[in-house]
Amino acid sequence: MNVRLLGLIELADRGRTLPLPSARARALLASLAWQPRTVVTDAVLMERIWGSELPDNPRDSIYTAAKRLRRGLEVAGHTHRLVRLRGGYLLDVDPAEVDVHRFRSQVALARDAVRRGYLCEANDAFGTALGDWTGTALADVDSTWAAQCREMLGRERLLVQLAGIEVKLGLDRHSEVAPELSELAAEHPLDEGVAALLMVALHRCGLRGAALAVYADTRRNLVRELGVEPGDALRRAHQELLGGSGAVAVECASTTETASARLRLVG
């Protein structure tokens, strides 16, 4: 079985998506899959599914959502996976069957490979980790809890993307990552880490003028939106590009050091 939270909430088995037409059933699945093989109490489920906007009979609503989730599980013969215990519910699935937990597991493998200097192995693990994402996490769950999870997972995804890009730069795959970094820079115009990596990639592609333009755009955005100048690292890289030394300040830290620093913030 495969529970998908890194995009729309879905339940799949042997290549087919199981029917979960109820929004509350999807919210219940997400709440339980977040902590597989752990009893999640009714009170916690209420908070995760509705927050302060509780329905008139929230326990009845949870029971109804559980019935609908069981119907979806029944199609593939997995009804036994949803268990009622001690004032709550448990989803009996291995963490490896939930994409969020697979993602973090692969990131842990990548972190270890980076630490040991095995960049090709780390690159493969990063690719597997990011391959589980299909869109915005918990996209169809509308609650405060889901919004907090989305924000947290979005930060983790960006950190993993950047660490993976640093590994690819360490493998001299700058022409491959430049388009991806350009997209990230458009999505995160105030992120100096993204800008720094894009400057490195563009410079290595022989596009020094484009790299300088990235600095100018980032500085303009920071001043306009936050009223601050770029940090020391980005300013130093800019000065070294102006001097023709090739963004040495951005590249001086080893791939393993900078990627490892990002990955410590994940999971």
63-86 average pLDDT score = 93
pLDDT bucket at 62, cuts 50 / 70 / 90: very high
Q: What is the pLDDT of residue 259?
A: 64
- Distance CA(99)–CA(6), nearest Å, equals 7
Q: What is the pLDDT of residue 262?
A: 66
Q: What is the pLDDT of residue 252?
A: 39
pLDDT bucket at 14, cuts 50 / 70 / 90: confident
In the chain, the percentage of residues whose pLDDT exceeds 90 is 78
> DSSP assignment of 125-173, as one string?
HHHHHHHT--SSTTTT--SHHHHHHHHHHHHHHHHHHHHHHHHHHHTT-
- Distance CA(52)–CA(35), nearest Å, equals 22
Nearest alpha carbon to residue 170 among 208, 215, 113, 222: 113
Nearest alpha carbon to residue 267 among 157, 185, 146: 157
Q: For residue range 208-253, list pLDDT tens digits in order.
A: 999 999 999 999 999 999 999 999 888 988 888 887 655 444 443 4
Q: For residue range 17-44, list pLDDT tens digits in order.
A: 998 889 999 999 999 999 999 999 999 9
**Domains of the chain, start order:** 2-97 (1.10.10.10), 99-263 (1.25.40.10)
- Distance CA(10)–CA(20), nearest Å, equals 7
Rounded to whole angstroms, what are the CA distances from 183 to 41, 54, 199, 212?
Answer: 41, 39, 13, 17
Tell whether the model's pLDDT for residue 133 goes beyond 50: yes
Strands laid side by side in the 82-85 sheet = 40-41, 88-91, 82-85
Q: Is the pTM here over 0.85, yes or no?
A: yes
- Distance CA(137)–CA(100), nearest Å, equals 9
